[in-house]
Chains A and B, each alone.
Chain A
Amino acid sequence: MTEPGRLPKWVDYGLLPALNLLAALLLAGGIIRLMGESPVAALKLLADGAGGSPESIGYTLYYATNFIFTGLAVAVAYHAGLFNIGAEGQAYIGGLGTGLVCLAVGHWPFWIVLPLAILAGAAGGAAWAFVPAWLQARRGSHIVITTIMFNFIASALMTYLLVNVLIRPGQQSPETREFAAASFMPVLPFFGAPLNLAFVVALGVAALVWIFIWRTRWGYAWRVAGANPSAAVYAGIHPDRVTLGAMLLSGALAGLLGLNELMGAQHRILLDFPGGAGFVGIAVALMGRNHPVGIVASAILFGALVQGGSQLSFDMPRVNRDMVVVIQGLVILFCGALEHMFRAPLVAWYRRRLEQSNPQSAIRNPQS
């Protein structure tokens, strides 16, 4: 019976995530303290490692690019009422498409290779999302279960392909030969490698996703189906078609990760190149409230954690890599799972403030 309680946007999108982040950092600081290191020094190292120089900012944004793609993938599915846990596998197979284009025609002019690589990446990711989507739409198999399982299948398939088929002859490491240099993503000036054009592509894609979801009739129909499937049927929207469409787009977005990771940085296909970005994308979408602007912001935050964290583990030997994962986990915990922990007190506080300034507003929402 308690009504959700509406907060002004600056609280909802600014203060609340900031409080969650603060809580996560405080707890992480406590743990670092227990390990006998100074939390303040650790935070300084983390911040410095993530944004202290153009180079470190470049690394942060490079990691963020992966998270933007996977975060958008999760968000698009979410708006259609679907929980896509399979961005990891979709990114993996999408990257295969991108990589194959670069291997096959990488010596062509870049401006021809780029659209082909984008298409191939999107197609690979979409194809990998299609089977779970089809099973959900036609057979009712739950998409959370099937997309998780498809991550493992993708992993096994890629291992097989890299070990047996795509491996560069005469070498031990399961990876392909290097792409032709003409197909490398241009490095962005000022920041330097590995930050590349894929970051700009990611920002553009985020803008397109926003337009699609909030400014087209198809995005509208998807949101209706996601929010209230029976109202969708009433409106003549077919929820199973929405499931298929939304998962195809979701997979396609995840599939673009290869643009950054393979074309932009590794310049070859190698084992496990998504490196968990598909899962981080879930946290990024949650924290970014499934809105492209929020997703870009939280992707940069997670990029900073990855980059600053590796700096931290380098300079503070007692805080090892696993500790950095713990910090990330705390951020995910507080910003994702415990997202609403501070919400109720904030709503109460805000209402009190409102009533003090304007007693009439207490009755502005008549019941039912």
Chain B
Amino acid sequence: MSGWMQHLTIAPIVLPLAVSAFLLAFDERRRTLKRIMSLGTLAALIAIATLLLWQVTDGFGLSPASAPYVYLLGNWPAPFGIVLVADRLSALMLLLSSLLGFTALFYAMARWDRSGPRFHVLFLLLIAGINGAFLTGDIFNLFVFFEVLLAASYGLLLHGSGAERTSASLHYIAINIATSLLFLIGVAMIYAATGTLNMADLAERIPAVPPGDLPLLEGGAAILGTAFLVKSGIWPLSFWLSRTYTAAAPPVAALFAIMTKVGIYIVLRLSSLLFGATSGGAAGFADNWLIWAGFATMLFGTIGILSARTLTRVAGHYVLVSSGTLLAAIGIGGQALMAALLFYLVSSTLAVAALYLIIEPVTRNADEEDRIAGIAEPVFDDEYTGALEENEDEVGIVIPGTIAILGGGFIFCTLLLAGLPPLSGFIAKFAIIDALFRHAAITPTSWLLIALIICSGLATLIGLTRAGIDLLWTPAEDSPPRLSVIEVAPIGLLLATCLALMIYAGPVFLYMETAAGALGDPSAYIEAVRGTPPITKAAP
């Protein structure tokens, strides 16, 4: 790799950051410019992520031999400088975040980006932070990127203002600042025990940590892990999640769907590098905790889905269920299970994002119904359009049969989330259960996980079907909701991606298996980081 391709690894961070700073210079009235710039950036990010995926797999080849690509910032060699590492897992997550960002931003153009200032700037900043967290190769930069994405998420959560959002933000910000402090304590303890913060260097040094220092290291890792687990919404640290996501504007909530997965990604990465099979005294640390906390989260999410009164709450609790499933599966471990959980991660993230996007148009109709039934006959129809729709310049193409489209999309989402055949949600859950059965000994914990996966699927099905019948099936007297193409297209894109995941499940699974293989044996990652020499200037 040479020339500009070398710098491709840093592009997913620098590009949105630069465009975000650039857009800050423009007045809010230059909306078209902002939209084109930010949407173009996200389209470019999808292309970059695809290119990175192509690079780390040697042209979409599936040989596990291809090494991760390491970028030395400032050309300092690895343990001293800061590194960015793009391997299969990070490339996959980058593609997922870019795709989700693109669709959420596209959807936001229907009207959401007009309900407050600097939406595009914050949105791009959030993407930069997420991408940075996926690429970084040392723990302290992880903290910095987490702060970048959190700062942007505070702003996005407040987007649109209102008492409910502000009050939810207050809790969200307080919890996340406290979590960041835990993060720092964990980082400091790990540094005190090992003297390094580079993940690959840590992986090399941990087996040599004297037994006396092991409690310090494990304590630090536990505190650090708690910080990520709060972010991924583990029970009992998850009570903030449902309310926060409900308060957020739909495109923001859709993007937040990947923020819990950032926490999962880090847990996956660190447990593979720092506490894998080769880590001596610290190996397998906290696996049991992850399993049981994951089960509790799934149970809490399932009960939450059944008791939720609004669709956004159902979606919020589904995020918890999927986090719980992933964490419990990480705790149980094994390569086949890892591959299955990566597939589940991608599929469930896309499906939850699609659900968040579709909820708003679906319930928009219901709000009007309720109001008509509750108050009086409308004098003018105009009065009953939502408060945010008052912009007269909005050009919404009215599609006949919007209910059919919404209903179809909703059923699609339901099948995906509940894990019914034939969609990718089913394949993911089936693969997890299959992997559990292929373990040498099927323990009671495996049975419990299988039971919980099936029960949570059933609860999702019940919750969503109930809401679907109520909102879409029962005939409405009033006209169907106005639905613009801008809103339908991103939902369609997300669902089409899930459909593609189903059709190309074979190759996708091969990719996931090699990614899981690299997680199970991180020596290639460590060697790549330690072995990458600084670039020497060519002689003139």
- Report whether chain A binds chain B: no
Q: Mark A residues whose CB is within 8 Å of B.
A: none
Q: Mark B residues whose CB is within 8 Å of A.
A: none
